[in-house]
Copies of this chain bind each other. A is one copy, B any other.
């Protein structure tokens, strides 16, 4: 009998109990071992919930019970999650977590500790919710060199951008609807500022390229400045706007990583990833483009990914799974401004023809984008150039009194 302890009884935690009970027979059969959830660590009482005999309030009860071989951390946040996970691994227990903030901040360290203690530290649910992505990336695509990963990694912002795109809604109104539907939290900043997507692209980057990438090293733009006009320009250009996380390996061995809203061509498989769904494109040198699509969040999808990790941990109590990466090194993530990119730019301009001449002088052969109803501005897509050079040209443009209204990345094919 393998005993499991669940830390936290919020959305994901209660989902874990639900999935575990509902599909119990199949889970036991796949794990090849009897399993029980012995403890649920909670901070308050949950009267009326049927697990009163499992609820405990002291982590030490779990830590000191040698029966507990697998600890499931679904509390979220760094404190006390980090402390609990660290001590569980240190005590030789396997850990499964859905906590992307924890993995993005301490992944390398916790993976090293798991290796030292010969236990597993698994976190499939931390990226893409119920979408299988980390295991396929580390196992099925292991014969590939990964050229690039591009993902719509945050369901909340994708819901908002979908509303803005298909219904012409303003950001604030779409956010309000997302909050009313429970897709966005009261304080939506981690979603709309791009921090959540950034944590996830860091985990993907770390796994794909073998060294820890920290969120602080990844330039991150959110969607709060995206307007209904930007969305109409995207449509006129031939695509949609999505918040994407991307990472690729440069020829010099450095990593380029970025989180930002981006124009995506209508032809892309990512363009039809709408509402709260996530989509992750992995470009391998042998396999070409592979896309994973599904619900990136939500109680049961996330819980099912957690329970799948629990099954895997139960199957590998003695044989460690080699999923992981090494410590970060200085200079590994490049300065995003040095890498060629393409930007969509809007500048205020009474006289478009004149403005276009100045733009062409500074940026070369740009491609104009027109939305007839939007007046007094010039909108265009730059050639591919190092982003720093584009930014300098735009500063020069401002000195000519063409003020920049917005800039949005354009995703290469």
Q: Is A272 an interface residue (CB 8 A)?
A: yes
Please tell me which stretch of A141-149, A240-248, A405-413 contacts chain B, meaning at least 4 of its Cβ atoms lie within 8 angstroms of it.
Answer: A141-149
| B295 close to A288 (CB less than 8 A) | yes
Task: For residue A311, give the distance in angstroms from its CB to the closest CB of chain B.
Answer: 5
Q: Is A32 an interface residue (CB 8 A)?
A: yes
Q: CB-CB contacts of A366-404 with B at 8 A, as 1s and 0s?
A: 000000000000000000000000000000000000000
| B135 close to A311 (CB less than 8 A) | no
| B269 close to A308 (CB less than 8 A) | no
Once the chains are docked, how many angstroms separate the CA of A308 from the CA of B136? 10
| A132 close to B23 (CB less than 8 A) | no
Provide the residues of chain B in CB contact with A307, threshold 8 Å. Answer: 142-143, 286
Q: Is A291 an interface residue (CB 8 A)?
A: yes
Q: CB-CB contacts of A234-277 with B at 8 A, as 1s and 0s?
A: 00000000000000000000000000000000000100100000
Select one of B15, B23, B30, B310 contacting A285, CB under 8 A.
B23
Copies per assembly: 2
Q: CB-CB contacts of A38-50 with B at 8 A, as 1s and 0s?
A: 0000000000000
Centre residue among A138, A291, A298, A310 by max chain B CB count within 10 A: A291
| A132 close to B142 (CB less than 8 A) | no
Please, how many residues of chain A have a CB less than 8 angstroms from a CB on the other chain? 55
| A287 close to B272 (CB less than 8 A) | no
Once the chains are docked, how many angstroms separate the CA of A23 from the CA of B143? 7
Closest to A131 in B: B290
Q: Is A140 an interface residue (CB 8 A)?
A: yes
Once the chains are docked, how many angstroms separate the CA of A138 from the CA of B136? 11
Within 8 A of B (CB), among A286-302: 286-295, 298, 300-301
| A288 close to B308 (CB less than 8 A) | no
Provide the residues of chain B in CB contact with A291, threshold 8 Å. Answer: 291-294
Q: Is A79 an interface residue (CB 8 A)?
A: no
Provide the residues of chain B in CB contact with A284, threshold 8 Å. Answer: 130, 304
Once the chains are docked, how many angstroms separate the CA of A32 from the CA of B321? 11
A-B contact pairs, 17 of them (CB 8 A): A19-B143, A26-B142, A130-B284, A130-B287, A130-B288, A132-B140, A132-B290, A143-B307, A143-B310, A269-B293, A286-B300, A287-B294, A289-B294, A289-B295, A290-B295, A291-B292, A292-B293
Given contacts A15-B286, A130-B290, 10 further A-B contacts (CB under 8 A): A19-B286, A23-B145, A130-B284, A132-B136, A143-B307, A272-B272, A288-B294, A289-B293, A289-B294, A290-B292
